[in-house]
Amino acid sequence: MDLTLYFLTGASASGKTDLSLEWSLQEDGEILSCDSLLFYRRMDIGTAKPTSAQLEKVQHHGIDIRSVKQPCNVVDYMSFSQSVIEDILARGKNVLVVGGSGFYLKSFFSPIVDDLKISDEIVQRVRSLYDADGLGGVVGELKRLNPRGCGSVDLKNPRRVVNSLQRCLASGKTVVQLGREFQEKPIPFPDFKKQVCCLWREKEDTKNRVRQRVRQMLRCGLLDEVRILLDDGLEENPSAASAIGYRECIEYLKISGGSNLADLEDNIVRNTMRLVKKQRTWLKKQIPVNRWLFLDKNEKGQPESLFA
> pLDDT tens for residues 105-131?
999 999 887 678 889 999 999 999 999
CA 153/CA 64 separation, integer angstroms: 36
Q: How many other CB atoms are there within 10 angstroms of residue 186's CB atom?
A: 7
More confident residue, 60 or 71: 60
Please give the CATH number for the structural domain made up of 120-183: 1.10.20
What does the pLDDT read at residue 257? 64
What does the pLDDT read at residue 240? 93
CATH 3.40.50.460 assigned to domain 4-111+188-305? The reply is no
Q: How confident is the model at residue 258 (pLDDT cuts 50, 70, 90)?
A: low
CA 224/CA 300 separation, integer angstroms: 31
What does the pLDDT read at residue 92? 95
CA 298/CA 205 separation, integer angstroms: 8
The percent of residues above 90 in pLDDT, for the chain, comes to 83
Instruction: Return the domain boundaries, the chain.
Output: 4-111+188-305, 120-183
What does the pLDDT read at residue 112? 80
Spatial CB neighbours of 89, under 8 Å, sequence gap ≥ 6: 3, 95
Spatial CB neighbours of 261, under 8 Å, sequence gap ≥ 6: 218
What is the average per-residue pLDDT within 286-300? 95
Q: Can you give the pTM of this predicted structure? A: 0.85
CA 241/CA 201 separation, integer angstroms: 28
The percent of residues above 70 in pLDDT, for the chain, comes to 98
Burial 160-184 (b: 16+ CB within 10 A, else e): ebbebbbbbbbeebbbeebeeeeee
> pLDDT tens for residues 77-102?
999 999 999 999 999 999 999 999 99
